């Protein structure tokens, strides 16, 4: 099983600032990585697939990068609705998720 490790577990950032979230795979997943946002009490929402392609309707302040084992999700200017939990997911061999990064207001 491919293990996905996200860091940090919690990230405190002020509105309007940039947030950078990391995800590392235990083996190469090429670019077969997605990012999801989960707000409290809601289902996950697809943000990014193919490591860097924004899903339909996702604003350009969200960007993804990386390949192989190291990936990054960047939110360029945080809005109030962006404070949530973010999960990375590999789909190279079946599916596994990271444990999540909670993005909280500083």
> Are the beta carbons of 85 and 28 closer than 8 angstroms?
no
Among 12, 70, 95, 105, binds another protein (CB under 8 A): 95
Query: Within 13 Å of residue 5, how many CA atoms lie on the same side as its CB?
Result: 7
Contact present, 54 and 27 (Cβ < 8 Å): no
Within residues 28-47, the interface with another protein by CB under 8 A covers: 32, 34, 36, 43-46
Q: What is the C-alpha to C-alpha distance for residues 54 and 62, in angstroms, rounded to an integer? A: 8
**The one among 10, 99, 105, 106 contacting another protein by CB under 8 A:** 99
Query: What is the closest distance, in whole angstroms, from the C-beta atom of residue 79 to another protein in the complex?
Result: 21
Q: Closer CB to another protein, residue 76 or residue 91?
A: 91
């Amino acid at each position: 099983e491919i293990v996905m490790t996200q860091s940090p577990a919690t990230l405190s950032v002020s509105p309007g600032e940039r947030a950078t979230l990391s995800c590392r795979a235990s083996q190469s997943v090429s670019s077969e990585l997605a990012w999801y946002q989960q707000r409290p009490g809601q289902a996950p929402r697809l943000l990014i697939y193919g490591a860097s392609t924004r899903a339909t309707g996702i604003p350009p302040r969200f960007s993804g990068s990386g390949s192989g084992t190291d990936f990054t999700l960047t939110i360029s200017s945080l809005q109030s609705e962006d404070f949530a939990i973010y999960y990375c997911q590999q789909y190279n061999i079946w599916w596994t998720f990271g444990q999540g990064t909670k993005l909280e207001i500083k």
